Structure 1
C-alpha cells in the first residue's frame, strides 16, 4: 500500500513536536531527576508489580546492558529494590515506598500535562486524538515486535443500543462514502433516518446491532434487520468501520457476530447491498459465505454507482 509522502511528513512533524513538548529532549523528564528511560522504567515496574531486568529490557526496547546500569542507579537512589523470585537465579524489581511516591508524582505531572492540552479541544477532537494516538502507537509496537497485524488495545464489541450510536453510524458512513462515491447530504440523512427507525425496533428479537468501541468511542457497526425483507430473510445493514480500524480484524469480528446471530435465529438467508469497488469488504463477505447475486446501476444516493447484492444461504438449508 502506497502512503502519500505528505501524510508521512505531517505525522513525522507532529511526532517531533510531541517529543519536544513532552520534554524528551531534556536531560530529565516529568519533573524528576531521572532520564526518560528511567521514568519509563519506573512506570513499567509499577505496572508489572515485579518484573525482571530482562523483561524490562524487552518492554522498553533497550539493550540489557543499558537497563542493568539504569536499574543500578534506581536501586542506589532508593526508588526500587530487588527481591528473589521462585527461581533463585532470577530477581524481580519492585518499587520502594519512595518509588511509589515518585511514580505517583509522575502520574500527576503527566495527567496535568495531557489535561491542559485536551482542554483546548472540543470533545470530538479529544476522542479523535485518543483513538489516533492509541492506534498509531500500537502500529509502531507491531513493527518492533514483528506481529502479523496491528494490535488494537481496549477494543470491544458489544450488542445493542448505546448513546451516540445513530449519529456515529451516520457520520462514519458519510465520511467514507463522500470520499469513495461522492455521496452527500441525501445519503447521510437517509442513513441517519433509517438507523433511527431501526433502533426503535431493537425490542424485537429478530433485530440486533453491534458496535465496536475503542476507548469508549464507536469505531465500527453492523446490524441485522429481521423484519424489512420478509420471507424469513435477514437484511445485513450499516456495516462500517472508522478509518483507523481498517485492517485490524475488527470488521471480521463484527461480521462473524452478525452471521452467528442469523444462524441462531434460523433465517433462511442473509441479504446485503453494497457498491462495486469495495474490494476489502467483498473479500470479507465471500469469506463468510456470501455470493454476488445481483448487480445494477443506481442513482438513489445522489450519484450514479453500481450496486451489488450479496446473499448467504443459511447453513441449515445449504445442499
Structure 2
C-alpha cells in the first residue's frame, strides 16, 4: 500500500468512528453540552481542581478557546474559580451543579461504551480494545508511569510473537520468510524442552499491552549452559528499559536454576540488543559471516559466566 492508500484509510476510519461515537450530534451523549464543553468538565472533575493553563495543555486547546469555554461554563453555573488577575490563571473547580453534570456525562459515556461492547463476543472485545490501545501507543507513545510486568504467555500470544517478529525484522532489516520459519521452529524447540524447571518464557506486559518477550532453555548438548533466545521489544515501547529488564530476568532465572553459563546468538546489525547484552555483562566470544534470511550477515556468539 502507498502513503496515499494509508491516508485514505485513516480518513475513512475517522469518519466512521466520528459517527459511531456520536461526535456529529449537537450535544455529547444527548446532553446540552458540546464536545469541547464536556471535555473541560471531565478534565476538571477528574482533577478536582486545576487551572486553565493546565487544561490547555491537557486538551491541546489554545488559550483564547479555553478562556471562552471557562466563561461559558461559569455562566452556566458549572465552574467556580478563586479570585485572580484573569480567568486563565485562576484555580478552577466544579460547582455542585458541575459535579452532577460530570457524573451524568461519565455515566452516559460508560453506557455508550457498554452498548458498543455488549454485542461483541469475547474475541471481538479483545480485538477491539487491543487495537485501541495499540493506536494510542503508536500515536502518543506508551502512557508514562505504566506498570511493567514480566509474565508467562497467554493463549494465542506465542503465535502473535512469531507473527510480530517475522514482520518486524522484515520491515527493519529486510529479512525474508526464512527468518519467520526459523523462529517458528525455535519456539517449538522451547515447547519441546522436557524440564519446565530449566526453561522459561516471559512476555513483557506494559500497562496491559504486549511490549516484548524473551525465553531461555538448556543449550544443546550442555545441560549446565542456558541459551537466551528471541529478545524482542515492540518499536512503540523501546527506550523504556524493557529489553534490559527481560535480559536481567533471564540472568536471574539462570542463576536460580543452577546454570553456570548463558550463551546467545545474534547479528551485529542488531545494535540495540548488543548494547543490552554488553550492559548485562555478556562478552563476545566468536563471529562468523553467513548468508541467511535473504541477507549477508555477521553472526555473533555472546556468553556470560555465572560462576
TM-score normalised by structure 2 residue count: 0.72
Correspondence for 1:129: 131
Unaligned 5+ runs, structure 1: 140-149
Structure 2: distance between partners of 1:215 and 1:190: 30
Deviation at 1:61, TM superposition (A): 3.1
- The partner residue of 2:50 within 47, 52, 55 is 52
2:108 is paired with a residue whose SS is helix
Correspondence for 1:145: none
Structure 1: distance between partners of 2:186 and 2:113: 41
Q: Trace 1:292-307 onto structure 2 (pairs within 5 A).
A: 292-298=284-290, 305-307=297-299
Q: Trace 1:141-152 onto structure 2 (pairs within 5 A).
A: 151=143
Deviation at 1:293, TM superposition (A): 1.8
Deviation at 1:132, TM superposition (A): 2.5
- The partner residue of 2:176 within 173, 182, 195 is 182
**Distance verdict in 2 for CA 1:227–1:167, change over 3 Å:** same
Correspondence for 2:102: 99
Correspondence for 2:87: none
RMSD: 4.0
Deviation at 1:289, TM superposition (A): 2.6
Deviation at 1:291, TM superposition (A): 2.7
**Distance verdict in 2 for CA 1:58–1:108, change over 3 Å:** same
2:186 is paired with a residue whose SS is helix
1:132 is paired with a residue whose SS is helix
Structure 1 segments (4+ residues) deviating >6 Å: 116-119, 299-304
Q: Trace 1:105-116 onto structure 2 (pairs within 5 A).
A: 105-112=108-115, 115=117
Deviation at 1:214, TM superposition (A): 4.6
**Distance verdict in 2 for CA 1:297–1:14, change over 3 Å:** farther
Correspondence for 2:199: 207
**Distance verdict in 2 for CA 1:123–1:14, change over 3 Å:** same
Instruction: Give the count of matched residue pairs.
Output: 292
Deviation at 1:52, TM superposition (A): 1.8
Correspondence for 2:234: 242
Deviations 1:227-276 (A, max 9, x none): 65636332111212334434444223322332344455564432111234
Correspondence for 1:147: none
Q: 1:293 touches 1:310 (CA, 8 Å); kept in 2?
A: yes
Structure 2: distance between partners of 1:67 and 1:302: 55
Deviation at 1:311, TM superposition (A): 1.8
- The partner residue of 1:196 within 182, 188, 191 is 191
Deviation at 1:211, TM superposition (A): 0.9
Structure 1: distance between partners of 2:112 and 2:206: 25
